[in-house]
Chain A
């Protein structure tokens, strides 16, 4: 006879699921406690990607579109809107029901790290492929591969404008041609440093990573000619040699001989991916996501070291962060769930499922956390201070009461188990929350709504 798991084993399992799996599904804490939280994490880290990572078994519209913006702007916009909704709803659905939740967590992490904003213009038509061919295949792979895939993808090339960046024309011959109206396929007149800056600041080195304005301009020169082939019909990466700046460059203290074409950018991406500042930046960001808003320094340093020694292997890096120390399991749950994490965790806990794809998105819209709608390239914030204010508290509470009521026609009803024992959904139970749940005269649905709206359920 095996001994039942200890209370500590349960607590560890709960913590692992809260931090790495968008919260437990019914019965899952027992199972993970049985297996051991660390063993479960190790198994999640080792597991091969599901096949659907590569084919994306979601009801996604294809990128081959029926109409272009020029042919029919209204139809194009409608199409784009549907793509955006399908993608966001698909992200919620796969996070709710995945048997590889750590992987879904990392898809969410990288989607935010390499954020693309759906409303700028043409991105919607690039996005199904961005999700399918960039974020999902590389989410647990090598950072350098992921970085390279984002750099070459039309979604990123368009969003951060690199597709319209070219070596400045030497002569005054092409002095100020017209840029009115839609950008044509004509040669851009010079540099656009948008991508170069965000590549250094957000994607790799970090804002304190030791680069200068001069580096930004040099990096922009390296990436001249990285553009989009057939952007409106069958978008793909294209290197345009005629747009490329063939002169020598000097980036982060190193000379780059000119004239190497697309190889210059490829080599620079590899160099950035392996840079100690990138390791420190990513380690800190991962530790903030999984441990605390202000994560322990030892954990950050350990993670950065493993990132470098493993040559940016995401699984090995996560292993160092999550399993080579005890920080994950220490202290009370102190991370505030993002609205996305909150909604997904509530659906997982209660068995409620959206009947319409956009049902779960309405709440995320109100809370300002819809996939692909982060208004800046920095993505969504990941600290309590930025997510919690009185308006957010009201909106979170409203969603939970609606979900628990079973009366929202777009959502299925909560499980009997959740209605019968809502306190069982909470990792901890404070005196205030216990008193609230003990209030005389509450209906089961109200008790469930209160449990989900409690401060405890906002935390992981």
Chain B
């Protein structure tokens, strides 16, 4: 009996240690990725990277200024398209909705959220590229914006719902109409959460590559206006990583570092904003 107990205790200690090892291994991947990118990207990054156009094939040097600007334009368009739909849709769900319509909207949003990004790419290609017969920044922004909608919608709704009931009742007792209550009480009370939701949605699409291959495509030069194909950081990383040139590999590392840095900073910022406000469960 005693040896059996000792065995059980040993198994317990061993298995619990193993779970700790699993956790450490999983988390260490993050630091490995960061360290590797810092090492390889840090040595390849230079002022030229941010200011120069890609050099012609075969020449070393050059940078990714057009891809950085391109990513900025794409993300701006995506935000302008996705965030209003998500935000106002969430207001409908949280304040006016209920019943079957709200259920259908939520269901559609969850469905959209689960659609693989490559399928979003097909959709945007069929809708915004084929009819016009050319790739464009607009089509890319449309694809990324589509992906922002469900994330913004569902989290904003959660945060709006988390606004205490007393606040609504207080406003209405003062005679405010419902939309006045929403505009001047509910949305301001939930603004930290809403901002977090938007930032997280932004960070999520900032690194998306697959839909951009079919929509924004890529460009080795500046892309004037919104109606031309444009370079973007994620697509550049992809094209440069699978290329045979060492100099392009170095640039891919640098672009990877810039992109990952941007995404992680936005993520940390978003969580910082949230944790300083009322904490709300985000499940």
Q: Do A and B bind each other?
A: no
Binding site for A on B (CB under 8 A): none
Binding site for B on A (CB under 8 A): none
